[in-house]
Amino acid sequence: MTLLDLKWIRENEEEVRLMLEHRGANFPLDELLKLDAVRREKLTAVEALKARRNDGSKLVGSLKREGKDASALLDELRKLDEEIGNLDAEVSSIQGKIDELLLQIPNRVHASVPVGRDEEENVVVRTWGDPPNFDFEPKPHWDLGTTLDIMDFERGVSLAQSRFTVLKGMGARMERALIQFMLDLHTTEHGYVEIEPPFLVNTATMRGTGQLPKFAEELYKCADDDLWLIPTAEVPLTNMHAGEILSEDRLPIYYTAYTPCFRREAGSHGRDVRGMLRQHQFDKVELVKICHPEKSYDELERLTRNAEKVLQLLELPYRVICLCSGDMGFAASKTYDIEVWLPSQGKYREISSCSNCEDFQARRINTRFRPRDGGRPRFVHTLNGSGIAIGRCLIAVMENYQRADGSIAVPDALVPYMGGIREIGPLR
RNA sequence: GGUGGGGUGGCCGAGCAGGCUUAAGGCACUCGCCUGCUAAGCGAGUAGAGUGGCAGAAACCGCUCUCGAGGGUUCGAAUCCCUCCCCCACCGCCA
């Protein structure tokens, strides 16, 4: 990992302080700055000694070649070596502490983000469609799914745990149809390249997008291998060009992928326990962009619209909100959440989250581009968004398209993907 | 899992009995010269990161580090030793 961001922090101390305050984050900035000062002081000292050693070593070489005695010089160099060893150890110990701290500092907040403490202060940006009017009491998806025998919550639990669900028959079919529908839309209409990434990634990859080290308790880890189950396809997609210097002509890069996502939901005990709104395993189609730093906020608007398009084509009412500074994720500089209408709850629930991470992840994974006019490589900006969460979309379709008799109409856009089936009724 | 061969700059590829290598040479690219145009030819240049010189930025100059990763030996490591990762070939196992 590069430490360029440290230089920026050093030079923009007050901005960092303000950001931490707006996020409500607890971070020992003074300690970091002090460590940085000490590190640079020691580094300068040890580098001067190394320069002397290098000169001396060369001299030894030429003395020996001429057959002269070099023992006095060798004694001196041996002493130098010891000093260097000690100082080096100090520097790397300080460096280790700095690296640890740097991994825990959240991303900067974009100027357009509302300052606020928690989700109460998020701002509604726009609303699309109208919640349907039912002349009967709309049922929650778990009732619909159980009655139609397309969702089996009990067997999900018996096979695995709570927060696992078995989809069956037309339920499984619609899950698959939604995946196909969304991938087709994003690849053919929106210009994304379809990727099928690994569903397990190593620690370095997990660290690159910011899941580690702070959020290890949210992840499933393999006991015998350095592998973690991905909590979102954002992780493998954003890491695709880790360590690379791309030519500017390759930007922007758009990737989309369908993957299952695995989350321990460690901090969510008791929330959304019924139904399949909050699962340990869920399907998602993800959108990722890797782009030029000056274009990233335009790209964020477009990416959000790309996700919204899914709901528009499915004719599901939704709204877009802009998260306030205190409610944003660790890696994001700006985030729009898309919330879909759920009739059984009478409210909007998150179905997509679209973020611009600016260069936060790019620094961690070291993805840069070489500017067209030459010059030093610069960090790219990375963006990600759900395009969209499949399980929650299935729920939204079921609840919004339910009829009085408990059957479910298939949205027109989905009919071709359902083999022409227009409604899901009770199994005969 | 076993055996053997590898991992060097944007790419190819030498170096691997430790010190005249500040990583040879080639390709590609950039600039200049030459030239009706193009090609060829000639000349020069072309990695990244950290840090210092400046109050700061750019430019420039210096130093340190980087030859898959991390340790070790040594005054000195691309070169020797150890561990790990990855690639290739064959064998075993396997959807």
Q: How far is the CA of A344 from the C1' of B77 (A)?
A: 70
How far CA A314 is from CA of A63, A181, A210, A318, A340, in Å, comes to 81, 10, 33, 11, 11
Share of chain A above pLDDT 90, in %: 70
Q: Work out the average pLDDT over A207-226.
A: 88
Active site residue A10: no
Q: Which nucleotide is nearest to A10 (CA to C1')?
A: B56
Tokens of A157: 């639990």
Cα distance between residue A318 and residue A312, in whole Å:
9
pLDDT of residue A163: 95
Q: Work out the average pLDDT over A295-303.
A: 97
Largest separation between any pair of C-alpha atoms in chain A: 104
Q: Is the confidence at residue A214, as pLDDT, over 90?
A: no
Which of A64-73, A124-133, A264-273, A344-353 shows the lowest per-residue confidence on average (mean pLDDT)? A64-73
pLDDT of residue A1: 38
**AA letter at A310:** V
Q: Work out the average pLDDT over A97-120.
A: 92
Q: Is the confidence at residue A130, as pLDDT, over 60?
A: yes
Select which of A333, A344, A352, A353 is catalytic.
Answer: A353
Q: Could you report the per-residue pLDDT of A191-201, keeping only the tens digit for each?
A: 999 999 999 99
pLDDT of residue A334: 97
Q: Work out the average pLDDT over A126-139.
A: 96
Cα distance between residue A417 and residue A360, in whole Å:
38
Which own/partner pairs from A412-419 qualify as long-range (CB within 8 Å, at least 24 positions apart)?
Answer: A412/A315, A413/A181, A413/A313, A413/A314, A413/A315, A414/A174, A414/A177, A414/A178, A414/A181, A414/A314, A417/A177, A417/A178, A417/A180, A417/A181, A418/A170, A418/A173, A418/A174, A418/A177, A419/A173
CB A172 within 8 A of CB A180: no
Strand A193-194 versus strand A253-262 pairing type: parallel
Active site residue A376: no
Q: Is the confidence at residue A11, as pLDDT, over 90?
A: no
pLDDT of residue A387: 93
Cα distance between residue A310 and residue A316, in whole Å:
9
pLDDT of residue A171: 96
CB A318 within 8 A of CB A311: yes
Model confidence band, residue A375 (pLDDT cutoffs 50, 70, 90): confident
Q: Which nucleotide is nearest to A37 (CA to C1')?
A: B51
pLDDT of residue A65: 77
Q: Is the confidence at residue A150, as pLDDT, over 90?
A: yes
Nearest partner of A142 among A390, A317, A418, A391, judged by Cα: A391
Q: Work out the average pLDDT over A350-373.
A: 90
Phi, psi angles (nearest 5°) of residue A201:
-135, 165
Q: How far is the CA of A258 from the C1' of B71 (A)?
A: 41
Active site residue A271: no
pLDDT of residue A324: 97
Q: Is the confidence at residue A43, as pLDDT, over 80?
A: yes
Active site residue A173: no
Q: Which residue is nearest to nucleotide B10 (CA to C1')?
A: A245
Q: How far is the CA of A226 from the C1' of B85 (A)?
A: 12
Token look-up 């989700």 returns A119
CB A59 within 8 A of CB A71: no
Q: Is the confidence at residue A2, as pLDDT, over 70?
A: no
**AA letter at A418:** M
Q: Mean pLDDT, chain A, as a whole number?
A: 92
pTM assigned to the model: 0.92
Tell me the HSE value of A360 on the side-chain side, using a 13 A CA sphere: 26
Which of A90-94, A179-183, A247-251 shows the lowest per-residue confidence on average (mean pLDDT)? A247-251
How far CA A35 is from CA of A204, A363, A408, in Å, comes to 24, 20, 62
Residues 6+ positions from A57 with CB-CB distance below 8 Å: A77
* Strand B contact set, beta carbon < 7 A: A 2-4, 6-7, 11, 40, 43-44, 47-48, 50-51, 53-58, 60-61, 64-65, 74, 77-78, 80-81, 92, 245, 368, 375-377
Higher per-residue confidence, A245 vs A275: A275
**Cα dihedral sign for A412, A416, A422, A428?**
negative
Cα distance between residue A284 and residue A199, in whole Å:
12
Active site residue A319: no
Those nucleotides of strand B lying less than 7 Å from any protein Cβ are 10, 19-20, 48-52, 56-57, 59, 62-65, 71, 75-76
ipTM of this complex: 0.85
Model confidence band, residue A427 (pLDDT cutoffs 50, 70, 90): low
Q: Could you report the per-residue pLDDT of A327-360, keeping only the tens digit for each?
A: 999 999 999 999 999 999 999 999 999 999 999 9
Model confidence band, residue A3 (pLDDT cutoffs 50, 70, 90): very low
Select which of A10, A264, A278, A305 is catalytic.
Answer: A278
Q: Is the confidence at residue A165, as pLDDT, over 60?
A: yes
Nearest partner of A87 among A54, A124, A44, A121, judged by Cα: A44
Q: How far is the CA of A381 from the C1' of B23 (A)?
A: 34
Nearest partner of A348 among A180, A162, A119, A142, judged by Cα: A119
Q: Is the confidence at residue A12, as pLDDT, over 90?
A: no
Token look-up 């936060």 returns A360
